[in-house]
Amino acid sequence: MWAYESVFYQIYPLGFCGAPFENDGVLEHRILKIKDWIPHIKRLGANAVYFCPVFESDTHGYNTRDYRLIDRRLGTNDDFREVCAALHENGIRVVLDGVFNHVGRGFGPFVDVIKNRENSRYIGWFNRIELGGNSNYNDGLWYEGWEGNYDLVKLNLRNGEVVDYILQSVKQWVDEFDIDGLRLDVAYCLDENFLRRLREYTSSLKPDFFLLGEMLHGDYNRLMNDQMLHSATNYECYKGLYSSFNSMNMFEINHSLMRQFGPENWTLYKGKHLLSFVDNHDVTRVASILTNPKHLKLIYAIEFGMPGIPCVYYGSEWGAKADKREGDPALRPCFDAPVWNGLCEFIRRLAEAKKASEALNYGSFRSVLLTNRQCIFERKTDRERVLVAINADSEPFAAHFDAGCGRAVDLITGDPHDFGGGSTLPPYSAAFWKMER
């Protein structure tokens, strides 16, 4: 699967392109801006872009009005086809947000239900419509809103017409934009039979079509398996990553990685590829959450070195800041142009190392050395072995361990390393040592 050897770049298009929050009905060709950023994305080493919602919606994209039209605040279907073609020409895959759990109040079939009530042919498209009830919109009927949000109308994914409508919409996205995969919003809420049908159908459209699910808690294997999703968002390690640095306790992230990928038979996700991230469109940016800015490069080094598919959120590669307490729009800003700095260059080196390394893409996980402020772990396949070494301390650290060989090359810097001369980790440093046989 191509995704397992990729580095993802996440864009929230409505914010990225400076679109108004409310859908003002005015057609603007803002989505073409992404073409100007392709050289930056490519230079960063990302070879897949995950777009948050691009389809016509009421406000923020997750309240869909029309699954088959690009949001007019962003442009036209022709505009987005042009963007996708340019990305593909540059070797960059395209993954779209599939928001199938709920729709917006402006979704045509729901508008028909409000207007025609029991006479609407779409009344069965939605969960638990009660014509004798009401909501805070005072429509004279009650319906299930996702997590009590009545602007997010819950779809009935056990209705064959709804499923067929969604599958045909996905086919249009493949036919029209040649997309390579979907990230499924709130996948943990989706009907499992729907996910099985979606996996079977998308595999028939493209054998290597990638399905990623937004998962928060619990066992991701419930939906991440050979019949449903290929991958899931690794929220467990998201928390462990920043908390390990802020509390100076590398045991926390190591515990999560051992639980998920360790050598023991009971580990949960051995051989699987979860999406790794240090921030995204829903959480405080990593540069705002880390208490020590010198840890910023190191948290990315662990993200790229640990098992999984690393993803970078637009702007965070140069250290942009934003706090969740300021509201979602603050997390999803418009940047006039990309910035290139030392953090970007470091991430570029991590990305190139990751994509070129069999061990970093597919290797097993084993903890080699662990203290509160340092960790070294091994990624290994039959043909390659890489040690990921992190020193989060302000002082050098003399690492004593059995490397299993005498020499290595650091995939981040290209510098040779001789274990016979000792392995002193400089302050605030990271290394990806590829071992020589």
The pLDDT score that the predictor gives to residue 421 is 72
Quickly count: other Cβ atoms within 10 Å of residue 140's Cβ: 12
Provide φ and ψ at 306, rounded to 5°.
-75, 165
The CATH superfamily assigned to 364-435 is Golgi alpha-mannosidase II (2.60.40.1180)
Q: Are 312 and 42 in contact (CB under 8 A)?
A: no
Query: Among the CATH numbers 3.90.400.10, 2.60.40.1180, 3.40.630.10, 3.40.109.10, which is that of 102-156?
Result: 3.90.400.10
CA–CA distance, 198 with 50 (Å, rounded to integer): 19
Structural element, H or E, at residue 379 = strand 374-380
pTM, two decimals, is 0.97
CA atoms within 13 A on the CB side of 276: 30
How far from the centroid of its chain's Cα atoms is residue 201's Cα?
Answer: 22
How far is 176 from 182, CA to CA, in rounded Å?
15
Q: Provide the pLDDT for residue 422.
A: 76
Which residue matches tokens 């997590």? Answer: 147
3-state secondary structure of 194: helix
Distance (Å) of CA 247 to CA 78, 241, 288, 290, 299 = 49, 10, 15, 10, 13
CB under 8 A, 24+ apart: contacts of 204-207: 205/170, 205/171, 205/174, 206/174, 206/180
Cβ-based neighbour number of residue 339 at 10 Å: 13
Residue 423 CA to residue 401 CA, distance in Å, equals 9
Positive or negative torsion for Cα 236, 237, 241, 247: positive
Domain limits of the chain?
2-100+158-362, 102-156, 364-435
Pairwise CA distance, residues 122 & 77, whole Å? 26
Helices and strands per DSSP (H, E), number in the chain: 13, 21
Return per-residue pLDDT of the chain as tens, 437 residues. 999 999 999 999 999 999 999 999 999 999 999 999 999 999 999 999 999 999 999 999 999 999 999 999 999 999 999 999 999 999 999 999 999 999 999 999 999 999 999 999 999 999 989 999 999 999 999 999 999 999 999 999 999 999 999 999 999 999 999 999 999 999 999 999 999 999 999 999 999 999 999 999 999 999 999 999 999 999 999 999 999 999 999 999 999 999 999 988 889 999 999 999 999 999 999 999 999 999 999 999 999 999 999 999 999 999 999 999 999 999 999 999 999 999 999 999 999 999 999 999 999 999 999 999 999 999 999 999 999 999 999 999 999 888 888 899 999 999 999 988 778 999 999 999 999 86
Q: Does the CA dihedral 267-270-274-277 come out positive or negative?
A: positive
> Which CATH number describes the domain made up of 2-100+158-362?
3.20.20.80
pLDDT value at position 24? 96
Contact call for residues 110 and 59 (beta carbons, < 8 A): no
pLDDT in the model for residue 238: 97
Bridge-based pairing state of the strands 48-51 and 8-11: parallel
